[in-house]
């Protein structure tokens, strides 16, 4: 199963999902274009996330600390920790993301891509979608 979903400056290519693994994990490659970011910091209560850097760099803000993930670098995001990511470089960053157990699948990303295609995107609907899939948005601190 391979499916690629674009959302503005982000692209997610699913390698396997909760549907393929009996809920054991979701695994996807994510490409983050220069100056792109996760628009809303969030946490999840039901799964952990591991990131492995493939190309370029991504910057992950986890529990108030920045962690740069480049090729061969890793970061583990334990459930409950507020996090987000960005690419502050002039080159795309690409990483492998593994969620355990698998709870999102590609459906979440399809729905978010459709919402982000609106101009402007419906922020209330984006928040509702995040919550329905178990991502709890956290307003950024000043």
Could you tell me where the DSSP H helices lie in 81-122?
105-116
What is the reported pLDDT for 141?
63
Q: Does the structure show a pLDDT above 90 at 138?
A: yes
Mean pLDDT of 10-19: 95
- Tell me the sheet residues that pair with 12: 5, 30
Q: Please tell me the distance from the alpha carbon of residue 85 to that of residue 68, in angstroms, as a whole number.
A: 10
- Tell me the backbone φ, ψ of residue 96, rounded to 5 degrees: -100, 130
Q: Record the pTM.
A: 0.92
Detail the DSSP E strand segments found in the chain. Answer: 3-7, 10-16, 26-32, 42-44, 48-55, 58-62, 65-69, 74-77, 83-86, 93-100, 135-137
Pairing of strands 58-62, 65-69: antiparallel
pLDDT at 8: 85
CATH topology of domain 3-137: Jelly Rolls (2.60.120)
pLDDT-based confidence at residue 37 (cuts at 50, 70, 90): confident
Mind listing the pLDDT tens digit for each residue in 93-129? 999 999 999 999 999 999 999 998 878 888 899 999 9
pLDDT at 26 over 90: yes
Orientation angle between helical segments 105-116 and 123-132, nearest 10 degrees:
180
Angle (CA) 109-110-113 rounded to 5° is 80
Q: What is the pLDDT of residue 140?
A: 67
Report the alpha-carbon distance of residue 77 to residue 119 in Å, rounded: 32
Average pLDDT, the chain: 93
Tell me what the mean pLDDT of segment 80-98 comes to.
96
């Amino acid at each position: 199963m391979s499916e690629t979903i674009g959302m503005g400056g982000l692209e997610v290519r699913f390698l396997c999902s909760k549907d393929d693994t009996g809920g054991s994990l979701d695994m996807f490659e994510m490409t983050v274009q220069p100056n792109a970011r996760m628009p809303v910091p969030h946490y999840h209560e039901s799964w952990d996330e591991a990131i492995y850097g493939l190309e370029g760099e991504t910057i992950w803000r986890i529990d108030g600390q920045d962690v740069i993930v480049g090729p061969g670098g890793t970061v583990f995001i334990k459930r409950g920790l507020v996090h987000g990511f960005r690419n502050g470089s002039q080159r795309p960053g690409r990483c492998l993301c593994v969620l355990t157990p698998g709870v999102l699948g590609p459906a979440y990303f399809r729905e978010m891509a459709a919402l982000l295609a609106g101009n402007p995107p419906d922020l209330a609907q984006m928040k509702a979608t995040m919550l329905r899939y178990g991502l709890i948005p956290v307003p950024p601190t000043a």
